[in-house]
Amino acid sequence: MKVSVKVPASSANIGPGFDCLGLALPIYNTVTIEETVLPGTGIEINMMSEEENFDEMVFDSIPKDENNIVYKAVELLYNSIGQVPSELKINIQSQIPIARGLGSSSSVIVGGLLAANKLLGEPADETALLAIATEVEGHPDNVAPAILGGFVLSNQEDDGTISYCKLNWPEEWDITVCIPDFELATDIARSVLPKEVPMADAVFNAKHLAMLVQAVNTNDEKLMKRALQDRLHQQYREKLVPGMHEIIEAFKHEDGILGCVLSGAGPSMLVISHKYDLDKIKAVVKDIWEKQNIKADVRTLKVEEKGAYVVE
């Protein structure tokens, strides 16, 4: 028996929502798990990409044994019901660019978990799956929208459970995803963050996160334009993303542009707009990055309301 699960990409933080906000995007990874019948075959992990310019060296550097994050997630699920994984063949069909701030690792963790859960007869409910995925990934901001779809505010409680609230992203607000052709590993992006931040910065983000939630709930463009500011991570990561400052400045005072933020830890960026020339966004971003010899894939997408699902 084998099961395939399709999982959307995700963009976390969205400005002030550091480690607690994320939205699903219609770019997908598909994880297929098959229980092999031949004893002693062990674990087989295969990765394939539909991207024309994928980096084979990145794929080659990903563990293909028990250290693979998909297998770790599957193993935790099996262990939670008192079992150990049998011989497994895991295939990962990748469309989500790796190390670009689009939740590629969360997507395969979620895909592996849901596929294994189906193989086992679905012993784990949504709560358990969210908790296991977060344990492997480290925080829920990407895994929550990957499982649930939509725009999600999430938090890991002290007991390990995940609490969340889905917000209704305004349909008319466009999201232009700007994906540069260079990678930025999450651990490197995390390493530049300070261990402590000034109280003023923490208060600033708390205020702006509250403003962002209210702006989304009330479809308030003026409030959203003020809300999409951050002092906890973007200012520190800016030095790791060439052109980031220039892109933000280019759209700062444009009517119709609600904000420009890092996608997750970067280096991808999101430009959020309403009734703005989308071709102009694409041209401006590409021009700024081309001046720094960076190529970019720029796509305008809607929030993916459907989370991970089993492919029939």
pTM (2 d.p.): 0.93
pLDDT band at residue 37 using 50, 70 and 90 as cut-offs: low
- Count the domains in the chain: 2
Quote the CA–CA distance of 226 and 199 in Å, as a whole number.
20
Do 25 and 123 have their domain in common? yes
How would you class 38 by CB atoms within 10 Å of its CB: exposed for 0-12, middle for 13-18, buried for 19 or more? exposed
Do 158 and 279 have their domain in common? no
Query: pLDDT tens, 77-135?
Result: 999 999 888 788 999 999 999 999 999 999 999 999 999 999 999 999 999 999 999 99
Report whether pLDDT(48) > 90. Answer: no
Do 98 and 201 have their domain in common? no
Do 162 and 197 have their domain in common? no
Quote the CA–CA distance of 191 and 236 in Å, as a whole number.
10
Do 27 and 147 have their domain in common? yes
DSSP readout, 59-92? HHHS--STTSHHHHHHHHHHHHTT----SEEEEE
Quote the CA–CA distance of 291 and 282 in Å, as a whole number.
14
Residue 246 maps to which CATH number? 3.30.70.890
Q: Assess contact for 71 and 88: CB atoms under 8 A.
A: yes
pLDDT of residue 60: 60
pLDDT band at residue 256 using 50, 70 and 90 as cut-offs: very high
Order of strands, sheet of 174-180, starting from the edge strand that comes earlier in the sequence? 257-262, 269-273, 174-180, 296-301
pLDDT of residue 160: 86
Do 164 and 188 have their domain in common? no
Q: Which domain holds residue 272?
A: 174-301
Do 19 and 156 have their domain in common? yes
Helices (H) and strands (E) in the chain, counts: 11, 11
Do 156 and 187 have their domain in common? no
Do 124 and 23 have their domain in common? yes
Query: What dihedral do alpha carbons 172, 149, 263, 106 form, nearest 10°?
Result: -170
Do 124 and 226 have their domain in common? no
Q: Estimate the crossing angle of helix 104-119 against helix 69-80, to 10 degrees.
A: 40
Do 243 and 199 have their domain in common? yes
127 by DSSP, 3-state: which? Answer: helix
Residue 30 maps to which CATH number? 3.30.230.10
Do 69 and 45 have their domain in common? yes
Report how far apart, in Å, the C-alpha atoms of 34 and of each of 38, 104, 111 are: 12, 21, 13
